[in-house]
């Protein structure tokens, strides 16, 4: 009997589900709004609808499904299958795995989205040829995941690799976690946006303000990038500054993990030409030579499918390791 796997990428605004064959090739996919504002039960119903939808479209019976992988924003307890809470979803200690398994009778595995993305890049993306990598996503926040000897490094209770909350400068800006100077507080899209709003409010960049039609609260990282591409020095400096601190973060990753590869993903990487050179130069300046000489830094390859391919890799991880 042909075996299949399911992956579900749970986001704050949309749910993306795919059915894959035993090689990880997507056969059918389904997308729905999360409708997070309608509450927990509605979100779970929407998740189940996308799963039934991909099975129906492919005419596959749920007995043929070996596992469902879910990638979700955290914090969560992957072993217990519980989402603890999330700023974009109305969850509070939701036993998601138990609820999905009892509704569908399909073995379900849950991982945080950055860990799932690390698995996706390892098995289906830029990391296919290495056994050790660290994935870093630079997006609204900064998240990470590490693959060590082909396996996801989870930590004792799945909270390893919160690379965004490693402290780069204790005198730095306040982070959402309550500490000062986390990598996320320097390099995330929201942090770049905050610097841009501060610069505009202080009258330092007319270009940023113009691009936002003089509405300071509308200034985001995309507008800051547009200003930089149009030659605005303040906007350019904001990205260079983020790049410098990202470089310190990369040097720390190299010194901790002695990894073969670092893969960079996330929305902010769309503007990588504004900060990546600075980040790599800083990384080279501060990482220890022994580890630095063998590491490769690559951009993620899975693009907008990274969440979905990551979730499929979560479902397939045991099989992929066994067959490799």
Q: Which residues bind Zn ion (CB under 5 A)?
A: 165, 175, 177, 179, 182
Q: Which is nearer to Zn ion, 76 or 175 (CB)?
A: 175
Distance CA 107, CA 268 (A): 34
Q: Which is nearer to Zn ion, 182 or 225 (CB)?
A: 182
Q: Which is nearer to Zn ion, 165 or 207 (CB)?
A: 165
Q: Please give the structure tokens belonging to residue 303.
A: 């693009």
Q: Which is nearer to Zn ion, 107 or 180 (CB)?
A: 180
Beta carbons of 72 and 96 less than 8 angstroms apart? yes
Measured distance between the N- and C-terminal CA atoms of the chain, rounded to whole angstroms: 21
Q: Please give the structure tokens belonging to residue 38.
A: 């309608």
Smallest gap from Cβ 141 to Zn ion, in A, equals 9
Three-state SS at 305: helix
Smallest gap from Cβ 165 to Zn ion, in A, equals 4
Q: Which is nearer to Zn ion, 228 or 248 (CB)?
A: 248
Q: DSSP letters of 269-282?
A: GGGGGGTHHHHHHH
Q: Which is nearer to Zn ion, 42 or 180 (CB)?
A: 180
Distance CA 40, CA 100 (A): 12
Q: Please give the structure tokens belonging to residue 199.
A: 């610069």
Beta carbons of 9 and 16 less than 8 angstroms apart? yes
Smallest gap from Cβ 186 to Zn ion, in A, equals 10
Distance CA 28, CA 61 (A): 14
| Of 163, 143, 226, nearest in space to 192 by CA | 226
Q: Which is nearer to Zn ion, 152 or 182 (CB)?
A: 182
Distance CA 49, CA 112 (A): 21
CA 267 to chain centre: 9
Smallest gap from Cβ 175 to Zn ion, in A, equals 3
Smallest gap from Cβ 238 to Zn ion, in A, equals 19
């Amino acid at each position: 009997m042909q075996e299949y796997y399911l992956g579900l990428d749970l986001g704050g605004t949309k749910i993306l589900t795919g059915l894959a064959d035993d090689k990880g090739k997507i056969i059918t996919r389904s997308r729905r709004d999360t409708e997070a504002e309608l509450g927990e039960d509605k979100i779970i119903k929407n998740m189940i609808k996308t799963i039934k939808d991909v099975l129906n479209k492919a005419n596959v019976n749920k007995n043929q499904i070996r596992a469902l992988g879910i990638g979700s924003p955290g914090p969560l307890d992957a072993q217990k299958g519980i989402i603890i809470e999330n700023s974009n979803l109305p969850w509070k200690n939701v036993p998601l795995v138990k609820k999905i398994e009892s509704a569908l009778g399909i073995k379900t595995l849950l991982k945080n989205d950055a860990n799932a993305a690390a698995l996706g890049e390892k098995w289906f993306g830029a990391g296919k040829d290495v056994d050790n990598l660290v994935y870093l996503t630079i997006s609204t926040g900064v998240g990470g995941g590490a693959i060590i000897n082909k396996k996801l490094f989870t930590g004792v209770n799945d909270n390893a690799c919160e690379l965004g909350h490693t402290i780069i400068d204790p005198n730095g800006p306040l982070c959402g976690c309550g500490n000062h100077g986390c990598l996320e507080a320097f390099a995330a899209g929201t942090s770049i946006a905050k610097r841009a709003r501060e610069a505009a409010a202080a009258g330092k960049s007319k270009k940023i303000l113009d691009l936002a039609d003089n509405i300071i609260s509308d200034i985001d990282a995309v507008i800051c990038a547009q200003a930089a591409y149009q030659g605005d020095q303040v906007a350019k400096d904001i990205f260079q500054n983020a790049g410098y601190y990202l470089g310190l973060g990369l040097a720390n990753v190299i010194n901790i993990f002695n990894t073969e590869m670092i893969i960079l993903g996330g929305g902010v990487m769309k503007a990588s030409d504004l900060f990546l050179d600075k980040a790599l130069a800083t990384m080279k300046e501060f990482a220890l030579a022994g580890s630095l000489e063998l590491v490769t830094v690559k951009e993620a390859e899975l693009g907008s499918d990274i969440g979905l391919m990551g979730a499929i890799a979560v479902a397939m991880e045991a099989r992929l390791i066994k067959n490799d």
